[in-house]
Amino acid sequence: MNYRNILFDLDGTLTDPREGITRSVQYALAKLDIHEPDLASLEHFIGPPLLQCFMQTYHLSEARAWEAVNHYRDRFKVTGLYENRVFDGVETLLARLGEQGRTLYIATSKPTVFAREIARHFGFDRHFRRIYGSELDGTRTNKVDLIAHLLEEEGLATEDTLMIGDRKHDLIGASRNGLHGAGVGYGFGSREELLDESPDYYFASLDELTRAFG
Protein backbone atom coordinates (compact mmCIF):
# COMPACT_ATOMS: atom_id res chain seq x y z
CA MET A 1 0.00 0.00 0.00
CA ASN A 2 2.70 2.43 -1.02
CA TYR A 3 0.34 5.02 -2.47
CA ARG A 4 1.19 8.66 -1.93
CA ASN A 5 -2.32 9.88 -2.76
CA ILE A 6 -5.56 8.40 -1.42
CA LEU A 7 -8.96 9.32 -2.83
CA PHE A 8 -11.95 8.59 -0.62
CA ASP A 9 -15.59 8.35 -1.54
CA LEU A 10 -17.76 10.09 1.07
CA ASP A 11 -21.16 8.43 1.56
CA GLY A 12 -20.78 4.86 2.81
CA THR A 13 -17.00 5.13 3.04
CA LEU A 14 -16.32 7.92 5.51
CA THR A 15 -19.84 8.50 6.83
CA ASP A 16 -23.16 6.71 7.22
CA PRO A 17 -25.66 9.13 5.61
CA ARG A 18 -28.54 6.64 5.62
CA GLU A 19 -31.07 8.72 7.55
CA GLY A 20 -30.47 12.04 5.83
CA ILE A 21 -30.47 10.68 2.30
CA THR A 22 -33.43 8.33 2.59
CA ARG A 23 -35.61 10.87 4.41
CA SER A 24 -34.75 13.51 1.81
CA VAL A 25 -35.57 11.10 -1.03
CA GLN A 26 -38.83 10.22 0.71
CA TYR A 27 -39.64 13.94 1.00
CA ALA A 28 -38.86 14.56 -2.68
CA LEU A 29 -41.03 11.66 -3.82
CA ALA A 30 -43.94 12.84 -1.68
CA LYS A 31 -43.73 16.20 -3.46
CA LEU A 32 -44.30 14.25 -6.70
CA ASP A 33 -47.19 12.34 -5.08
CA ILE A 34 -45.12 9.14 -4.86
CA HIS A 35 -45.31 7.71 -1.36
CA GLU A 36 -42.61 5.39 -0.03
CA PRO A 37 -43.15 4.59 3.66
CA ASP A 38 -40.22 2.17 3.89
CA LEU A 39 -36.95 4.09 4.21
CA ALA A 40 -34.92 0.90 3.81
CA SER A 41 -36.26 0.56 0.27
CA LEU A 42 -34.59 3.88 -0.57
CA GLU A 43 -31.08 2.95 0.54
CA HIS A 44 -30.03 2.20 -3.04
CA PHE A 45 -30.06 5.98 -3.57
CA ILE A 46 -26.91 6.18 -1.43
CA GLY A 47 -23.92 6.41 -3.73
CA PRO A 48 -25.15 6.68 -7.34
CA PRO A 49 -25.98 10.03 -8.98
CA LEU A 50 -29.44 11.10 -7.77
CA LEU A 51 -30.85 12.19 -11.11
CA GLN A 52 -30.24 8.82 -12.76
CA CYS A 53 -31.48 6.97 -9.68
CA PHE A 54 -34.80 8.85 -9.71
CA MET A 55 -35.17 8.24 -13.45
CA GLN A 56 -34.37 4.53 -13.31
CA THR A 57 -36.27 3.66 -10.13
CA TYR A 58 -39.49 5.54 -10.88
CA HIS A 59 -39.31 5.75 -14.69
CA LEU A 60 -39.33 9.54 -14.56
CA SER A 61 -38.48 11.80 -17.45
CA GLU A 62 -35.30 13.81 -17.02
CA ALA A 63 -37.31 16.97 -16.39
CA ARG A 64 -39.44 15.24 -13.74
CA ALA A 65 -36.35 13.71 -12.14
CA TRP A 66 -34.76 17.16 -11.88
CA GLU A 67 -37.88 18.27 -9.99
CA ALA A 68 -37.28 15.40 -7.58
CA VAL A 69 -33.60 16.34 -7.19
CA ASN A 70 -34.52 19.94 -6.41
CA HIS A 71 -37.11 18.88 -3.83
CA TYR A 72 -34.50 16.54 -2.33
CA ARG A 73 -32.01 19.40 -2.03
CA ASP A 74 -34.60 21.66 -0.38
CA ARG A 75 -34.67 19.29 2.58
CA PHE A 76 -31.12 17.95 2.41
CA LYS A 77 -29.34 21.32 2.57
CA VAL A 78 -31.23 22.30 5.72
CA THR A 79 -31.69 19.01 7.60
CA GLY A 80 -30.44 15.96 5.74
CA LEU A 81 -26.81 17.08 5.68
CA TYR A 82 -26.65 16.68 9.42
CA GLU A 83 -28.61 13.41 9.71
CA ASN A 84 -25.33 11.63 9.29
CA ARG A 85 -22.52 10.10 11.32
CA VAL A 86 -18.85 9.41 10.82
CA PHE A 87 -18.07 5.69 10.90
CA ASP A 88 -16.26 4.59 14.05
CA GLY A 89 -12.57 4.35 13.24
CA VAL A 90 -12.47 6.84 10.37
CA GLU A 91 -10.69 9.47 12.44
CA THR A 92 -8.02 6.95 13.43
CA LEU A 93 -7.52 5.90 9.81
CA LEU A 94 -7.28 9.45 8.46
CA ALA A 95 -4.86 10.49 11.21
CA ARG A 96 -2.66 7.47 10.50
CA LEU A 97 -2.55 8.20 6.77
CA GLY A 98 -1.63 11.80 7.48
CA GLU A 99 1.16 10.75 9.82
CA GLN A 100 2.50 8.52 7.06
CA GLY A 101 2.82 11.57 4.81
CA ARG A 102 0.08 10.61 2.37
CA THR A 103 -2.09 13.24 0.68
CA LEU A 104 -5.83 12.71 0.99
CA TYR A 105 -8.72 13.83 -1.19
CA ILE A 106 -12.48 13.28 -1.20
CA ALA A 107 -14.02 12.28 -4.54
CA THR A 108 -17.81 12.17 -4.27
CA SER A 109 -20.77 12.38 -6.64
CA LYS A 110 -22.45 14.60 -4.04
CA PRO A 111 -22.36 18.32 -4.90
CA THR A 112 -19.14 19.89 -3.65
CA VAL A 113 -21.01 22.50 -1.60
CA PHE A 114 -22.73 19.76 0.41
CA ALA A 115 -19.62 17.57 0.75
CA ARG A 116 -17.58 20.46 2.11
CA GLU A 117 -20.24 21.34 4.67
CA ILE A 118 -20.49 17.71 5.85
CA ALA A 119 -16.71 17.46 6.24
CA ARG A 120 -16.60 20.79 8.08
CA HIS A 121 -19.54 20.02 10.35
CA PHE A 122 -18.23 16.61 11.39
CA GLY A 123 -14.67 17.88 11.74
CA PHE A 124 -12.70 15.72 9.30
CA ASP A 125 -12.09 18.33 6.60
CA ARG A 126 -8.65 19.11 8.07
CA HIS A 127 -7.35 15.74 6.89
CA PHE A 128 -7.98 16.47 3.20
CA ARG A 129 -6.02 18.63 0.80
CA ARG A 130 -9.15 19.22 -1.24
CA ILE A 131 -12.72 17.98 -1.57
CA TYR A 132 -13.97 17.21 -5.08
CA GLY A 133 -17.66 16.74 -5.82
CA SER A 134 -20.15 17.41 -8.58
CA GLU A 135 -21.71 20.71 -9.60
CA LEU A 136 -25.35 21.52 -8.83
CA ASP A 137 -26.16 21.33 -12.56
CA GLY A 138 -25.11 17.67 -12.64
CA THR A 139 -21.62 18.16 -14.06
CA ARG A 140 -19.21 15.43 -12.88
CA THR A 141 -21.75 13.30 -11.04
CA ASN A 142 -20.22 10.41 -13.01
CA LYS A 143 -17.24 9.07 -11.04
CA VAL A 144 -15.22 8.50 -14.22
CA ASP A 145 -15.45 12.20 -15.09
CA LEU A 146 -14.98 13.31 -11.48
CA ILE A 147 -11.79 11.32 -10.93
CA ALA A 148 -10.39 12.40 -14.29
CA HIS A 149 -10.99 16.03 -13.29
CA LEU A 150 -9.35 15.53 -9.89
CA LEU A 151 -6.27 13.87 -11.39
CA GLU A 152 -5.85 16.68 -13.90
CA GLU A 153 -6.40 19.47 -11.39
CA GLU A 154 -3.97 18.01 -8.86
CA GLY A 155 -1.45 16.63 -11.33
CA LEU A 156 -1.43 13.22 -9.67
CA ALA A 157 0.42 10.22 -11.05
CA THR A 158 -1.97 7.30 -11.49
CA GLU A 159 0.54 4.73 -10.20
CA ASP A 160 0.81 6.66 -6.91
CA THR A 161 -2.94 7.02 -6.37
CA LEU A 162 -5.57 4.72 -4.83
CA MET A 163 -9.37 5.17 -4.89
CA ILE A 164 -11.37 3.78 -1.94
CA GLY A 165 -15.15 3.42 -2.06
CA ASP A 166 -18.15 1.28 -1.18
CA ARG A 167 -20.00 1.17 -4.53
CA LYS A 168 -19.19 -0.11 -8.00
CA HIS A 169 -19.17 3.45 -9.33
CA ASP A 170 -16.02 4.15 -7.30
CA LEU A 171 -14.22 1.13 -8.72
CA ILE A 172 -15.33 1.83 -12.29
CA GLY A 173 -14.19 5.42 -11.93
CA ALA A 174 -10.81 4.25 -10.68
CA SER A 175 -10.19 1.56 -13.29
CA ARG A 176 -11.20 3.73 -16.25
CA ASN A 177 -8.73 6.35 -15.10
CA GLY A 178 -5.90 3.86 -14.63
CA LEU A 179 -6.00 3.83 -10.82
CA HIS A 180 -5.97 0.93 -8.43
CA GLY A 181 -9.26 0.61 -6.54
CA ALA A 182 -10.21 -0.67 -3.10
CA GLY A 183 -13.76 -1.75 -2.33
CA VAL A 184 -14.98 -1.58 1.26
CA GLY A 185 -17.69 -3.89 2.52
CA TYR A 186 -19.00 -1.87 5.47
CA GLY A 187 -20.90 0.66 3.31
CA PHE A 188 -23.88 0.28 0.98
CA GLY A 189 -22.55 -1.82 -1.88
CA SER A 190 -22.83 -5.58 -1.56
CA ARG A 191 -19.77 -7.81 -1.64
CA GLU A 192 -21.02 -9.19 -4.96
CA GLU A 193 -21.42 -5.71 -6.48
CA LEU A 194 -17.86 -4.79 -5.55
CA LEU A 195 -16.16 -8.06 -6.46
CA ASP A 196 -17.87 -8.04 -9.85
CA GLU A 197 -15.66 -5.04 -10.68
CA SER A 198 -12.46 -7.01 -9.86
CA PRO A 199 -11.03 -4.47 -7.41
CA ASP A 200 -7.33 -4.55 -6.58
CA TYR A 201 -8.28 -4.76 -2.91
CA TYR A 202 -11.39 -5.65 -0.93
CA PHE A 203 -11.74 -4.87 2.77
CA ALA A 204 -14.79 -6.23 4.56
CA SER A 205 -14.45 -3.86 7.51
CA LEU A 206 -12.97 -0.49 8.37
CA ASP A 207 -10.61 -2.27 10.76
CA GLU A 208 -9.26 -4.39 7.87
CA LEU A 209 -8.76 -1.26 5.77
CA THR A 210 -6.90 0.47 8.61
CA ARG A 211 -4.64 -2.52 9.25
CA ALA A 212 -3.72 -2.61 5.56
CA PHE A 213 -1.95 0.71 6.03
CA GLY A 214 0.26 -0.63 8.82
Active-site residues, by number, are 9
Nearest to 184 by CA among 109, 76, 89, 110: 89
CA–CA separation, 54 and 13 (whole Å):
22
Q: Which residues, other chains included, contact 96 with Cβ-Cβ below 8 Å and sequence gap of 6+?
A: 210, 213, 214
If DSSP states are collapsed to H, E and C, what string results for 3-29?
Answer: CCEEEECCECCCEECHHHHHHHHHHHH
Exposed, middle or buried, 89 (CB in 10 Å: 0-12/13-18/19+)? middle
CA–CA separation, 121 and 118 (whole Å):
5
